[in-house]
Amino acid sequence: MARKLTGTVAADFALPDTSGRTVRLSDYRGTRHVVLVFNRSVY
């Protein structure tokens, strides 16, 4: 997998949030910072 450099635009994607609503990365375009957390554990 290629590394992204700071300041580059990430590809848009969509995932469900904890309430089941679809959230897209593009929904946050124009905000200063976006933090993504991918928890690989299964509860």
Domain ranges of the chain: 15-43
pTM exceeding the 0.75 threshold for the entire prediction: no
- Is residue 10 within 8 Å of residue 4, measured between CB atoms? yes
Which of 8, 18, 14 shows the shortest CA–CA distance to 27? Answer: 14
- pLDDT, tens digit (0-9, with 9 covering 90-100), for 9-28: 788 999 898 899 999 999 98
Which of 19, 11, 20 shows the shortest CA–CA distance to 36? Answer: 11
Q: From the CB of residue 7, how many other CB atoms can be counted at a distance below 10 Å? A: 5
Q: What is the pLDDT of residue 9?
A: 78
Helix (H, G, I), strand (E, B) or coil at 23: strand
Q: What is the pLDDT of residue 22?
A: 96
